[in-house]
Amino acid sequence: QKFVYFFAAGDSEGNAGMKNILGGKGANLAEMTSLGIPVPPGFTISTEICAHFYEAGGKLPDWVRPAVQESMNKVESKIGKKFGDVNNPLLVSVRSGARASMPGMMDTILNLGLNDQTVEGLAKSSNNPRFAWDSYRRFIQMYSDVVMGMNSSLLEVTLEDMKEEKHYKLDTEMTVDDLKLLVKKFKDLVHQMTGQSFPADPWEQLWGAISAVFHSWNTPRAITYRELHSIPAAWGTAVNVQSMVFGNMGDDSATGVAFTRNPSTGEKAFYGEFLINAQGEDVVAGIRTPQPITKIAAAAAGVMSLEEALPQAYGQLVEIYKKLEGHYRDMQDIEFTIERGVLWMLQTRNGKRTAAAALKIACDMIDEKLITQDEAILRLDPSSLDQLLHPTLDPKAAKTTLAKGLPASPGGVNGQIVFTSEEAVEWREQGKKVILVRIETSPEDIAGMVAAQGILTTRGGMTSHAAVVARGMGKCCVAGCGDIEVDYRNETMKVKGYVLKKGDVITLDGSTGEVYLGEVKTIEPKLDGNFERIMKIADGIRRLKVRTNADTPKDAQTARNFGAEGIGLCRTEHMFFGADRIDAVREMIIADNKMDREKALAKLLPMQREDFYQLFKIMDGLPVTIRLLDPPLHEFVPHTDEETKELAKRLNTDYERLRSKVKSLHEFNPMLGHRGCRLAITYPEIYQMQVRAIAEAAAQLMAEGKTLAPEIMIPLVATDKELDTLRGQAVAEVNKVQSEKNVKFEYTVGTMIELPRAAITADAIAEHADFFSFGTNDLTQTTLGLSRDDSGRFLGTYVSHGILPKDPFMSIDQVGVGSLVKMGVDLGRRTKPDLKVGVCGEHGGDPESIEFFHKVGLDYVSCSPFRVPIARLAAARAAL
Ligand code: ADP
Ligand code: MG
Ligand code: MG
């Protein structure tokens, strides 16, 4: 079985299509040699060996060695140097390279093959002793760090001490004798610290380095990176062993990195940096300040460009980058080295870029006829659009991390911490910026959440109240940050030895879940023509319609601006929390009899009518789905004695009576209790009022000559009988209003499918429904028997142990919950072939779930306003 692949000009065994076994770096090195681009010869040990390495307990199996030795011989004959030869030694680099690029996450070792003898050979054969000894000291630094596990700062300090002693500013000022002394000091230090002598045998060095690269696949930072980017651990890394070329041979040598286009703006301009007389990571490491490659950019910085310093190599580089971009048809991130005026390419890959750059590059490449519109859509990551819609933290700013929670709602914000919603509102009114810190939030916190810049909770998951509401508002939120201990009584939060008091400043990064101490600078988003253009292209491709979840005129307007094609979910209960009406809601709840209840409801009617009127008007003829009251009533009543007393006073009623009434609403499991349509089965007058408000608002708009398409939606239906009953009542009420006002308008009555029984009996339910809307949040809860408010504690473990592939509240569980959705669609349409079907759970804004919803034939998805553009793009990708 083959597991070592050779690469050299015109003689490569791999190509760009072999990333799975060669890793991205190895595959592209081979591909470049086939394009006639100069690449130092070498070979790639396949990713499959990584698994064998770990199976053997973290050791390189012996049977791998002969093939490596054979390939090394081949490199030797290509170059005309010998590995370990004392006169003309071949030096190599040992480089990691996984299938997906993980920049800087794993280890690389340069100048391998040097020892006290070969260094002399290198000095002579290159006629450059300074370079030889500089390479040697670099090798010891890298090898002792990466392979021998020594703290590299010790050697770094020794080097700095020497420079200081000699009054040098730059590494390049060190003389041959300095470097020789440094090498000796380094080797002594290595012996002292590790108890081992620095290996002199090049082959021993090589096996050590190969093992170290395989090991680096499982360092904590690599593991974290993989988790963040959903890269499976099983992929493994390849190892590239490549003959060295040297950028540290003098002033006609250099090393650099570049992007074929600007990765942060997307501008079509060659963009990169280099250093003369330097090697490898010097450019990124910040030892010396690198210089811009192009004349224009360098002039702006008042320094010399590569274009001027090494014009010939520069010219070659320009040709190569154009060739690479033309070949890969994407922006490339390249690494190169110039040895005595000769250019060598060391890496190319599709460059990472910001969302704004991705859009610009996609549009430009369509115009350049490099890619088609479909390809452009397939290349864009819908989730990354988030970056464009919210202010983000300045990536260049210095930061101190306090903790990491869930990236619940993106954006970068800072403010003073407060622990109650009331205070958030008060402080905001005083013109302060606040971050609302809560153990968890409840609907009562809405005002505080609106007032806050961002929300931080220590409990709850991606669909916790805080997360859902924050996303809906387009507000930054970090949820479930368990490392932070909130002490409401003392108004402090403790984390990592810090005790932060009310008023202290923190910064949240809602895109990563990170919480930082103090204020971190942010940058504002801009939506440009490229964004609009890509959205238009996406709209032309997708079949799924995209609606929004909105219950305020502001959200509705935002969503329309983002291209929403209607409201898929208006949660009427959010309207009940308004300061002007919450007491009327409470009066209705504690009423002893139908008459009192109707009296309270009568107060709510005009307010609800106005709410609906506004939404219909903004949506201007687009469908608006209004869900009738859903949550259990106890959510609306006060929870402390204090508040209850005050309410009793306001409502002019007896405190004890009120208290026992509130108590009687207690439920052991409210999510499965008296809520949804069950409320209306027992108190029909609640839905009756809401339906009347809808109908009267509709009548008013009709009278004004406007168009509208109201959809009345009944939640938490388990049986067709429930829907039959409630639909009948709703239709009767609408008819009544229509004849009272003497107008007719079109409307539909449908239901949410959010209980397994509803999905299973969808054919019977469809008899009474004009449409279905899958409430996949509740359907996930009830199908998995998993409370979304309590699962935060263990779901993380489930995902990290691979028991669940993903948080099922974030991305729909296609096998389980998804089957019920499919069944619901199929059964529903068996009864009514043109039944309109959508989804309004949080999954409606998740790209992977959207792909699934496209496949099972839904008509639309509905998501929070700020996810509308993401859903439009994801729906287009699903259709391709
Ligand atoms: P990473 O994956 O972290 O980018 P690389 O394997 O690309 O690590 O190595 C980092 C740098 O080391 C390269 O950008 C290049 O400058 C230098 N390097 C690697 N191999 C060689 C080589 N054979 N000759 C010269 N420089 C090399
Ligand atoms: Mg690299
Ligand atoms: Mg629900």
Q: What digits encode the pLDDT tens for the residues 397-421? A: 889 999 998 888 878 999 999 999 9
Catalytic residue among 363, 477, 677, 840: 840
pLDDT of residue 8: 97
Q: How far is ligand 1, taken at its centre, from the CA of residue 95, in Å?
A: 7
Does the structure show a pLDDT above 80 at 220? no
Q: Which residues surround ligand 3, an ion (CB under 5 A)?
A: 754, 775, 778
pLDDT at 472: 65
Atom 1 of ligand 1, nearest CA residue: 104
| Most ligand 1 atoms within 8 A of CB, residue of 216, 257, 276, 281 to mutate | 281
ipTM, two decimals, is: 0.95
Tell me: the pLDDT tens digits for 309-329? Answer: 999 999 999 999 999 999 999
pLDDT at 101: 80
Is 863 marked active-site?
no
Q: Could you tell me whether strands 860-863 and 545-549 are parallel, antiparallel, or unpaired per DSSP bridges?
A: parallel
pLDDT of residue 392: 82
The pLDDT > 90 percentage for the chain reads: 77
Q: Is the pLDDT of residue 734 over 70?
A: yes
Q: Kindly state the helix (H) or strand (E) to which residue 522 belongs, with its residue range.
A: strand 522-523
Query: Of 106, 99, 777, 89, which is closest to residue 461 (Cα–Cα)?
Result: 777
Q: How many CB atoms lie within 10 A of CB 672?
A: 15
pLDDT tens per residue across span 333-383? 999 999 999 999 999 999 888 788 899 999 999 999 999 999 999 999 998
Q: Are residues 210 and 243 in contact, defined by beta-carbon separation less than 8 angstroms?
A: no
Which protein residues touch ligand 1 with a CB less than 6 Å away?
40, 93, 95-96, 103-104, 108, 110, 242, 244-245, 255, 280-281, 335, 337, 346-347
* Residue 160 vs residues 163, 319, 742: alpha-carbon distances, Å: 5, 39, 89
Superfamily of domain 254-350: ATP-grasp fold, B domain (3.30.470.20)
The whole-number pLDDT of residue 284 equals 58
How many A from CA of 139 to the centre of ligand 3? 61
440-492 tens-digit pLDDT: 888 778 888 889 999 999 987 666 778 877 876 768 899 889 899 999 999 99
Structure tokens at 196: 């081992």
**Ligand nearest to the backbone CA of 343:** 1
Per-residue model confidence (pLDDT) at position 228: 65
Question: 840 an active-site residue?
Answer: yes
Q: How many angstroms is it from 774 CA to the middle of ligand 3?
A: 9
Please name the amino acid found at residue 559: A
User: Please, what is the average pLDDT of the chain?
Assistant: 92
Catalytic residue among 50, 215, 390, 465: 465
Give the pairing type, strands 454-457 and 434-438: parallel
**Do 788 and 800 form a contact (C-beta atoms < 8 A)?**
no
The CATH fold assigned to 391-523 is Glucose Oxidase; domain 1 (3.50.30)
Contact of 125 with 119, CB cutoff 8 Å: no
Confidence class of residue 384 from pLDDT cuts 50, 70 and 90? confident
Q: What is the predicted pLDDT for the residue at 440?
A: 85
Length of the chain, in residues: 880
CATH topology of domain 542-632+667-879: TIM Barrel (3.20.20)
Per-residue pLDDT, 285: 57
* φ, ψ dihedrals at 697, nearest 5°: -65, -40
Mutate to test the pocket of ligand 1, among 96, 110, 213, 282 (most ligand atoms within 8 A of CB): 110
Sign of CA dihedral 764, 768, 773, 778: negative
The answer to whether residue 57 scores a pLDDT higher than 70 is yes
pLDDT single digits (tens) 20-47: 999 999 999 999 999 999 999 999 999 9
Tens of pLDDT, residue by residue over 609-663, are 999 999 999 999 999 999 999 999 998 998 888 989 999 999 888 999 999 999 9
Residue nearest to ligand 1 atom 27, measured at CA: 280
Task: Give residue 199's pLDDT.
Answer: 97
Mean pLDDT of 492-502: 94
Distance 94 CA to ligand 2 centre (A): 12
Q: What pLDDT is recorded for position 139?
A: 96
CATH architecture assigned to 46-243: 2-Layer Sandwich (3.30)
pLDDT of res. 749: 98
Lowest mean per-residue pLDDT among 110-114, 350-354, 418-422, 519-523: 350-354
Residue 858 reports pLDDT greater than 70: yes
What is residue 356's predicted lDDT score, i.e. its pLDDT? 82
Atom of ligand 1 at shortest range from CA of 101: 2
Amino acid at 163: K
Q: What are phi and psi of 714, to 5 degrees?
A: -105, 120
Query: So where are the chain's domains?
Result: 46-243, 254-350, 391-523, 542-632+667-879
Name the pairing type of β-strands 771-774 and 748-753.
Answer: parallel
Residues 504-514, mean pLDDT to the nearest whole number: 92
Shortest-distance ligand to the CA of residue 106: 1
The answer on pLDDT for 286 being more than 70 is no
